[in-house]
Each structure stands twice: as structure tokens, then as C-alpha cells.
Chains A and B, each alone.
Chain A
Amino acid sequence: MKIEANVWQKVPGATAVEIFPIIPKANCVSSNCYIFSAPDALVVVDPGASPEQTRQISRILADALMASQRPILVFLTHCHQDHSQEAGLELPAGIEVKRFAHQAGVEAMKHRDRNLTTAYLYPWNPEICTARFEGILFASSPASEPPALELADGGRIELHTEPIAMPDGATLQRQWLPLGAGNRLEIYHTPGHSACSISLRVGSLLMLGDLPFAANPGVCGLDGWNHADLLQTLHKVDWLLEMPVITMCCPGHGYCVSAQSMREKLRLMEAEASNLTDVPLMDAERISALKIYVDELLEETAALLTIFSGRLYTVSYYLSLLEEEDSAANRVLATLDIDQIDRILSDFRRIAEAFKTSVMPEWTMVLKGVQVARSLQQVLSAEHVRQLLDLSLVDRAQRRLEDFLNLVRGLQFLQTEQPGAVNELIAELLKRTKETTMIESAHLMEAVDDDQSFLEALTRRLAAHSPLRDIEFEFAPATQDTNANIGAERLDDILANVMEGMAGMGVKHISIATRVASGHVEIRLSSRERMDPAAFGKRRLDLYNRTLGWLGGGLECSQHEGNAEFIIRLLALESV
């Protein structure tokens, strides 16, 4: 079964009810809208926030009313701006509209709460919906919840409250109202994404609003988000979806999916959400900081992955000189979908540039960054990528993507860091740069009698070529204890990136010195040759500085008589 966008179709599991889904390209500015035509009412779920969509809704309603006059019932799955702004629905005089939302949402809109309605996310300072909501759902006191709404023609809309006792003892709050011909509109309180979140069922269709996205990085932590509520709701909805009566789920953004698919998605989400115990508020300040982080992440991953792709091209160049172009060279290039990675990054760069001259909310770029990070993670984790090549650059890019997603989610990845001795870590890194060549040479010698093995060993050797292999290092370790508050992988990543960047600028000698002073372990990297730190790109250095800053340290870069010096400071363990 499929629910098509922009066309009337029968609602499965209902009698004489049709649905017209409006499903724009998924975005954070305006939601999907679902219109139902039932014998006794027209129901609009989430009008959205696009005036163009509102005009479409008005046309559809006007046509439906021509066929049969009925009241229009507008429901909000929650009060967020992208769902609620157009709930006023300007319709010709004489058409009766009754609006319904959870009490918490109605109050948020009534009090013009820019946080709970998420209006603060949008730089154009949108007006919060001022329409009157007569239908207060799940009211905390019976006084504020009219049991029936009077219609102008003398009719009544009865709102019934019937909580569901679940087998495990929990209660799912439910209300319902009749739609005619024995059909019901059932409403369930499903908080978590927001306190006012509800889900609605007509026939076999369940509309979940933004519940399917509630654990997404960039979405969790919005004002009104609640971890405990979300976990309980996921459990309750899982139970609902077990029932054969629900066959399709309609989200607040994107296409409708089968109940089975949604159940699987929500179960994965439950696992992801279980860690989100201490998520900081996604306020305007945090979003602005994350937006800067998105720019830096783009620069860093683009640089690392372009170098990696370039190395594959270099390998293919040399293999083609050996007249192996058709086999080995192509196999190398097929290892990684370079074109797909390039498309993802190029498109994102263009979106980021277009953003500078647009009025789109910064939040859009954060969500886009999350989407890009997840796409890249998927491409880079393919099994065949891991089999063939030296993956240090890919691993570094992967760690940056993971750090980014965790930070957007609000997880403090740094809490999981284990302190390490800086001197030992540097010595290990320097040893590793020389070892790679020796290991690969040994493989090459072992494989010399078999064409296929030889080519594979040669490919690995070419691809693993470390730019640090030919660098002459001088290391002057501090004599004191250099234990610092940083995990080995992240410091290794930053050091390797800085040193490779120096090598990329033609530096042949790198001096490294560590010392302990003023509660910090300091690592100084300097070159004998002239080099301009600008070659790194400011954003990449900013990213390293930011990462170190979270740990109480930082990165400074200075130029002295044409030579560059990088100073990395880490919080010494004694002062942590």
C-alpha cells in the first residue's frame, strides 16, 4: 500500500473517508499537511507555515465543501512554528472552522512563547498563530476542556476521553471524536518531541507529527523536548503499531511509510534516544555556535577526503604507467565512491554559500550538516573501503563526523576521553610514520611471485604513502610528567593533521618540543623552512582550536621571520 502525495485517495480501514496528503520536499520551515474528507467533517492535520501551502489547502477545502457542506476541524500534532503558523487558514466567510491542539500547545501560542513554538529558530521573526483554538485536548482540568463544541447549524462535536490501559500497566491517554458513518478520529497524547505532541489515527493511518525525528541531532534538546517522556511515548507507540489496525504511518515531514517500517525506525530511535539523558537546550546561542562548527567541519572533511581521493588518483596514475589501467587502477578507483563523496561535499558547499545571502535559519544549516555527516559516514563505512587501503585519513574524517553528530545531539563526547601521556603519544606517532613504509615493503617482497597479490600489495603501498615518511623530526620531550586531559585519538588526529599540513607546504624538518608550564602541557611544532600557516585554511585551525578548547586547551599559530610555529596547549592532568 502506498499513500500518494497531492491526490485524493481512500483511507484504508475507514468507511467513506478520503485523504489528500500535501507532502513538500522535507524541510524545517513548513510541515506536511494531511486533509481528510469524512461524511461529517473535513479534517486538516498540521496546516504548516507556507502561505503557498495554505492557498492549496484553501482550494482543496473549497472544492470539498462544494460537494458537501461540513465543518472544518483543524488539528495540530504540536505547536511548533513549522506546523502551526498557518492554522488560521483564511477561508471565505460562513465556513465554520474549529481548531484543536493539546492544552500545552494552545497555551504556548496564546502566550506568544517563541521558545516553545520554536519561532526563535527563524530569522524572519515569524508571527505566532493567533487563531482561536476551541478544542483543548488533554486538558489538565475538566473545566478547560469542553466536552462538546457547538456548531452554528446547531450540531455538536463531542470529544470523548477514553484512556487505554496497556498490558504492562501503563496508560495511553486517548480522546476521540466521531467523523460520521461509524468513523472515528482518535487522538493519543505522545509527548517527548514537545509536551504538546499528539498522534492521530483515522482508519489504518497514524499521523505521528515529528515523533520520528525527536532523537535526531539538532532536534533533540529543542525547548519542550523531554527525554523521559520520549522514551515512554516510543514504548507506547511501539505497542500501538503492534496492532493490525494501523498499517501506515504519516510523519510531519517526508513520505508515509508502512507501520512495520515505522516500528523498526522507532525501535532504532529508542536505542539512540536512551543515551540522550543530559541534552542541553538547543537555544539560539547554541545553534549559532553549531552553525560555525558546521562550516569548520565542512572545511576539514573536504580537505581530508580530497587528499584521500587524490591519493587514490595518484595510485591509479602509477598503475596506469604499468599498463594495468584496466584492472588494478580501476579497481582502486572503485574502492571508494569518490564521485558520490564529492557530490555530497560540493552540494553542501554550495548550499553553505547560498545560505550566506539568504534568510534561512541557521538551524537549517545545522540540520543539513547532520544529514551530510550521516551520508558521508555511510559511504565511508562500506566494507570494501576498509579492506584495501590505509584509512588513517578516512578514520580521521569519520571521527570528526562522529564528534560533530554527538555535539549536535548534546552529548559531551569529551567526558569519555581517557587522559594520556603526551610524550608517549608523540613518540608513538613518529614511530608509526616510519613503520608504515617498512611493513608495506615487506608485503611487497612477499607477494612478488604472484601477479594479483603483487598488484594488491603495490596498490596498498602507493595508497598508504605517508607524507610524513620523508620528514626529519627532532623531538625534545619535557622531562616532567606530561599526562594531559585528552584522548589519544583526538590529539593524534590534530598532530597528524598539523604535521601533514606542514609537509604539504614543503617542510622537510619539523621540531617538536613539549614542556609543562602553568598547569598546561605545551607542544610546540616548528619548521626550519619557511611556511605560511594560511595554507591550512583558517577554519581547519579554528576547528582544532575549538576541539582543544573543550578540553581546557587551545591551538595558537604564529609566524616568525617566515617560519610557522604551532603551539598546542592541553590541560595537565594534575590541574583537571
Chain B
Amino acid sequence: MKELEITLQHLESAVVLHVAGQVDSNTAAQLHEPLLRAAEAPTGAVDLDLADVSYMSSAGLRVLLQAAKALQKRGDRLRLVNVPLHIYNILNLAGFTSFIDIKP
């Protein structure tokens, strides 16, 4: 079983996390640590690239929520890019588009 692969890319004004695999209750903890570290840093935008994520369960949604809350404390919003259509659909229906910037 392929586990989650996370690659960090440090740009001048943002940290980009490229995620590949399934984000579910077995793997969400792997995303939690690097994403929260970036979100809790004092500055810098946080982009999450989901191009290679095949599935995201509610455990993945919770990690996104935690990062969004951390960023909200400094007035920023989490940005999701390259979101696969079926994941975008679920995030939108769950109301996540109201506090996270999501681009399919």
C-alpha cells in the first residue's frame, strides 16, 4: 500500500506542500505535522498542492481545518491548489470554500 508522500517547496513568500497518495485516517497524521508547522510559522503563505491526492477522508478535512484555524490567527487563509474535481466537490459541499481558498 502506497503511503502518503509529502514534498516541501520553500518559495520566497510561501511554503508549498505537494501531497501524493490517499489522505485518510491511516495517513492524515503524516500531513498534520509539516502542514501545521508551516501554518503556525509567523509569516508566509501556505499552499497545499493536491494534484496527486486520489482520496481525502474526513481525517484529511480535519487537518485542513486545523491549518486553516492556525492561519486565521494571523489573518491568513490556507490555499489549496490543483484540487482534483471529486475532492473539490466534497470540500465545497462541506462548506470549506468559505474559509479556505480552493482552486480545482
Please list the residues of chain A having a beta carbon within 8 angstroms of any beta carbon in chain B: 302-303, 305-307, 309-311, 313-314, 316-318, 320-321, 338-339, 341-343, 345-347, 349-350, 353-354, 465, 467, 500-501, 503-506, 532, 534-537
Contacts and interface: CB of A to CB of B under 8 A. Distances in A.
B94 A317 contact: no
B36 to A, nearest CB: 15
B25 interface: yes
Interface residues of B, number: 29
Given A354-B1, A534-B86, A349 B55 contact: yes
Given A317-B69, A320-B69, A537 B86 contact: yes
Contacts of A341: 58
A314 to B, nearest CB: 4
Contacts of B11: none
Given A311-B95, A467-B93, A353 B57 contact: no
Candidate in A306, A350, A500 with the most chain B CB atoms within 10 angstroms: A306
Contact of B57 (A316, A345, A354, A534): A345
Give the 5 A-B residue pairs with the shortest CB-CB distance, closest first: A310-B94, A309-B58, A314-B95, A346-B24, A504-B89
Interface stretch (B12-20, B45-53, B60-68): B60-68
Contacts of A536: 86, 89
A537 B26 CA distance: 22
B41 interface: no
B59 interface: yes
Contacts of B4: none
Nearest to A336: B58
Contact of B90 (A310, A316, A318, A346): A310
B92 interface: yes
A537 B85 CA distance: 9
B7 to A, nearest CB: 23
B94 A313 contact: yes
A500 B24 contact: no
Contacts of A339: 25, 59
Nearest to A466: B93
A316 B69 CA distance: 10
A334 to B, nearest CB: 14
B57 A302 contact: yes
A506 B88 CA distance: 10
Contact of B25 (A320, A346, A505): A346
- Summarize B's interface: helix, strand, loop or mixed: helix
Contacts of B95: 310-311, 314, 465
Contacts of A504: 88-90, 92-93
Contacts of B72: 321
Most buried by B among A320, A321, A338: A338
Contacts of B26: 346-347, 350
Contacts of A343: 25
B90 A505 contact: no
A313 B61 contact: yes
B58 A535 contact: no
Contacts of B59: 339, 342, 346
B91 to A, nearest CB: 7
Given A342-B59, A537-B86, A505 B92 contact: yes
B88 A535 contact: yes
Contacts of B89: 501, 504-505, 535-536
Interface centre among A305, A338, A500, A535 (most CB of B within 10 A): A535
A532 B25 CA distance: 28
A310 B58 CA distance: 6
A316 B65 contact: yes
B104 to A, nearest CB: 8
Contacts of A302: 57
Contacts of B88: 504-505, 535
A343 B25 CA distance: 6
A479 to B, nearest CB: 34
A342 B26 CA distance: 9
Contact of B1 (A314, A338, A353, A534): A353
Nearest to B55: A349
B86 A306 contact: no
Contact of A306 (B58, B68, B69): B58
Contacts of B93: 307, 310-311, 467, 500-501, 503-504
A501 B85 CA distance: 11
B58 A338 contact: yes
A500 B86 CA distance: 13
B16 to A, nearest CB: 23
Nearest to B91: A310
Contacts of B65: 313-314, 316-317
A302 B86 CA distance: 12
